[in-house]
Amino acid sequence: MIPYTTEARTDTGVSNVTLGFWLFIASEVMLFGALFSSYALLRVSAPDWPAGGDMLVTALGVTNTALLMALTAVAWRAGRTRPASARWLLVIASAVALLFLLTLGLEYSGQWRSGHVPATSTFFAMYYTLTGIHALHVLGGIIANLWVIAATTSVDDALTSARLRVMSHYWMFVALVWIVMFVGLYLS
Site of interaction with other proteins (CB under 8 A): 1-5, 9, 11-12, 14-16, 19-20, 23-24, 26-28, 30-35, 38, 41-42, 45-46, 117-122, 125, 128-129, 133
Nearer to other proteins, 58 or 121 (CB): 121
Shortest distance, position 89 Cβ to other proteins, whole Å: 26
Contact 184, 176 (CB under 8 A): no
3-state secondary structure of 115: coil
Shortest distance, position 38 Cβ to other proteins, whole Å: 6
Shortest distance, position 80 Cβ to other proteins, whole Å: 24
Say how far apart CA 171 and CA 109 lie, in whole Å. 25
Helix residue ranges, H only, 79-185: 83-113, 122-151, 157-185
Nearer to other proteins, 54 or 119 (CB): 119
Shortest distance, position 55 Cβ to other proteins, whole Å: 14
Q: CA dist 51 to 26, 123, 179, Å?
A: 31, 9, 17
Nearer to other proteins, 22 or 88 (CB): 22
Nearer to other proteins, 5 or 85 (CB): 5
Nearer to other proteins, 45 or 109 (CB): 45
3-state secondary structure of 2: coil
User: Could you tell me which of 163, 112, 170 has the C-alpha nearest to residue 178?
Assistant: 170
Shortest distance, position 15 Cβ to other proteins, whole Å: 8
Please, is 81 exposed, middle or buried when counting C-beta atoms within 10 Å of its C-beta (0-12, 13-18, 19+)?
A: middle
